[in-house]
A and B are shown apart, each in its own frame.
Chain A
Amino acid sequence: MSLPSISARDLTVAYPNGHVALRDVSFELASGTICGLVGVNGSGKSTLFKTIMGFVRPTRGEVRISGLSVREALKSNCVAYVPQSEEVDWNFPILVEDVVMMGRYGHMGLLRIASQEDRRKVDAALERVGMTAYRKRQIGELSGGQKKRVFLARALAQESQIILLDEPFTGVDVKTEAAIVDLLRALRERGHLMLVSTHNLGSVPEFCDQVVLINRTLLAAGPTREAFTQRNLEKAFGGVLRHFKLEGPALHDDDDSRAVTVLTDDERPLVFYGDTRASPQKETAPAVKPQKDEAGT
C-alpha cells in the first residue's frame, strides 16, 4: 500500500440550500503527521470531515486520499474515524468489545465472522487504551474519558493509515487527554496520518506538527511553527476568543515592553509572550496548564 496522504485541491462545498460552507481550500498532508484542524464553530471543520468521509460531495475541486478518490479510499479501509461523543447513541445495546470489533469489519468476509486474528487485534487495541477491564460493559455505563478510549481502540483495531478525530478532547479528563496525545504520537512514529479537529488551542503546539486553519476558506496551512501564529489565529477566531493581554506595569516594572497574550475559548489557554506574532511559545503553555486542572475539578 502507498504511504498515507490527504490532498485537498480547490475544494468548494455548497449545500443544497445555497450555503457555501467551504471555498477554495487546498492543502497537502503526508505520512507521519498529526495535523490540527482549527476553526470556530461553523467554520467548515465538520464539512471538511464530511467531505473526506464522502458524506458530502464537493461542488468543485476534490479530495484525494493516498492517491485514491474518496470512494475508493473508503472501500479499501484507508480511513478510520473517531466520532464526537454527541454523535454516538450511548443507549445502543452494545458492549465495549463489540464496538471495537466493528473496527475489524473491513477485514472480514461478507458475513462479518470474526477470525482468531480479529479477536487478537481487538484484545490488543483494548489493552493499548487501557480498557480491557471494561470490555463487557455496555458503552453508556462508561465515563467521558473511557467512552473516548473505546472509539480510539476501534480506530486502532481498524488499522487504517489515516485517522480522523473529531474534537477528541471535549468532555475528557486530563489523564485521558495525555493518553490520547501519547497514542497519537506513537502512531505518528509508525507513519500514520492523523487529522484532529479541535478548538483546544493550548494543546495544539504540544502535539500537532502541522495545522490547517479555516474559516469558510483556508486561512493558513503548514508546519505549526509557521502557521500557528497569533496573527493567523486572530484571523481564524476574530472576536470569538477570550483575549487577555498582560503587559507593561501589570506584568513587571522594568523597561521590558514585551507583553504576554493569552488566547482561550474555554479550554487550556494558548499563551504568547513578547513579540511573538510570528511563532507560538511552546514552553510557556505548561506554565498556565494548572488552570485547566482547577477548572476540571
Chain B
Amino acid sequence: MSELLVPFGYDYMVKAMWVSGLVGATCAFLSAYLMLKGWSLMGDALAHAIVPGVAGAYLLHIPFAAGAFFAGFLAALGMWFVRQTSKLREDAVIGIVFTTFFAAGLLMVSIYPTAVNIQSIVLGNILGISDGDALQVVIIAAISLAILGLKWKDLMVVFFDESHARTVGLNPTALKLLFFTLLSACTVAALQTVGACLVIAMVVTPGATAYLLTDRFGRLLVLSVAIGATTSIVGAYLSFFLDGATGGIIVTLQTLLFLAAFVFAPKHGLLASRRSAKLESAA
C-alpha cells in the first residue's frame, strides 16, 4: 500500500501532478469549444507554430513563453486573416500556416544548433520542469481558467449563433480574439507538460468524450474539465511507476475514456444507438 504513496514523497512528482492537472483542465475547457466549430486541428497547428517562437526567444534571450506565445498568436491571426480574405477552407488554411511556422522553426534550430533542444519542445518534459517554468505554467492556466469561468456563456453564444450574439450586445470578434489568445497561451503551457505533438489530444479528446455523454453545453464543460484534469493528474502519477513519457500516458488515458464513452454512452454510444435501432425495427 505504502508503495502507491511513494510518488507523493517526491517534490518533483507532486509538482508534476498538479501542474499537469491544471494544464489538463484548461486545455479540456478549450477543447469543448474547438470541437463544436470543427476547429479541433487548430490546437495542433498552434502547437507546431510555436516552435519558431521558442527558437527565436532563445536567440534573443527573452523568456521562452513570451516567444512561444507571440508565434502562436501570430499563427492564429494568420489563419484568421487567410480565412477571411480567401475562399480556402479551414483545413487548408490551418495546414498551410502551421507547416510554414513549423518549417521556419526547424530551419532556425538547424542554423543555430545550440539554441534549443527541439526534443523537449516536441515531447515535453514535465518531470524535469524547473520551479520558474512551473510557476509560469500555473499562472497561465489559472488566469485562463478564471477568464473562461467568467465568460463561458458569452463564448457559447458566439460559437452557437454569432448574429444573435450581436443582437444581445456582445462583440463576437473581440470574444473570438480572446478565445484564440487563451488558446495560444494554453498551448504554450501544455507544450511543457506533454509536448507539441500531444497538445492536440489535450485540446480535442476531453471535449469529444464529453460531447458523447451530454446534450447540455454547461455539463459538457464540467465533464470535459473533469476528464482533462483527472487523466492528467493520474497520468503524471502513473508515469512514476511505468517510467514512461508523461504525455504519452496522459493521452492514452484520455483515449481509453473516449473509447469507453464511444461504446457505453447512455444516449450517443454505440450500444445505445444499436438498442434504439432495434426498438425502432421492433415497433
B-binding residues in A (CB < 8 A): 16, 53-55, 74-77, 79-81, 83, 87-89, 92-95, 98-99, 102-103, 105-106, 110-112, 138, 154, 158, 160
**Per DSSP, are chain B's interface residues mostly helix, strand or loop, or mixed?**
helix
Chain A-chain B contacts (Cβ-Cβ < 8 Å), number: 74
What residues of B have a CB within 8 angstroms of the CB of A89 in the complex?
A: 36, 160
Given contacts A105-B153, A111-B150, contact A93 B217 (CB under 8 A): yes
Query: Would A94 and B216 count as touching, CB distance under 8 A?
Result: yes
**When the two chains form the complex, which single residue of A55, A76, A95, A112 contacts B166, counting CB atoms closer than 8 Å?**
A55
Interface string of B210-239 (1 = CB under 8 A from A): 010011110010000000000000000000
Chain A minimum-CB-distance residue to B218: A98
Closest Cβ–Cβ distance, residue A168 to chain B (whole Å): 14
Answer yes or no: B85 CB below 8 A from chain A CBs.
Answer: yes
> Which B residues are CB-close (under 8 A) to A53?
163, 166-167
Cβ of B132 under 8 Å from chain A:
no
4 pairs of A and B residues whose beta carbons are closest in the complex: A106-B168, A138-B215, A112-B153, A105-B168
Contact B216 A98 (CB under 8 A): yes
Please state if A102 and B161 are interface contacts (CB–CB under 8 Å): yes
Interface size class of B (residues with CB under 8 A): 20 to 34
Is B176 interfacial (CB-CB < 8 Å)?
A: no
When distances are taken between beta carbons in the complex, the residues of chain B under 8 Å from A105 are 153-154, 157, 168, 170
Contacts of B9 on A, CB cut-off 8 Å?
A: none
Contact A106 B160 (CB under 8 A): no
Contact between B169 and A75 (Cβ–Cβ < 8 Å)? yes
A87 to B36, CA, bound (A): 14
Least Cβ distance of B165 to chain A in Å?
A: 8
Complex Cα–Cα for A72 and B167 (A): 10
- In contact, B169 and A88 (Cβ under 8 angstroms): no
A92 to B207 Cα, complex, angstroms: 13
- The residue from B85, B168, B214 contacting A77, defined by CB atoms under 8 A apart: B168
| Min CB–CB distance A224 → chain B (angstroms) | 27
Contact at A110–B215, with CB atoms within 8 Å? Answer: no
Assess whether B160 is in contact with A94, with CB atoms less than 8 Å apart: yes
Per a CB cutoff under 8 Å, which of B157, B215, B220 touches A102? B157
Chain A neighbourhood of B274, CB < 8 A: none
Mark B117-131 against chain A: 1 for CB-CB distance below 8 A, else 0. 000000000000000
B164 within 8 Å of A by Cβ? yes
CB pair A95–B216 under 8 Å, yes or no, is: yes
Check B215 against A81 for contact (C-beta < 8 Å): no
Q: Are A106 and B161 in contact (CB under 8 A)?
A: no
Q: Mark B133-154, 1 if CB is under 8 A from A, else 0.
A: 0000000000000000010011
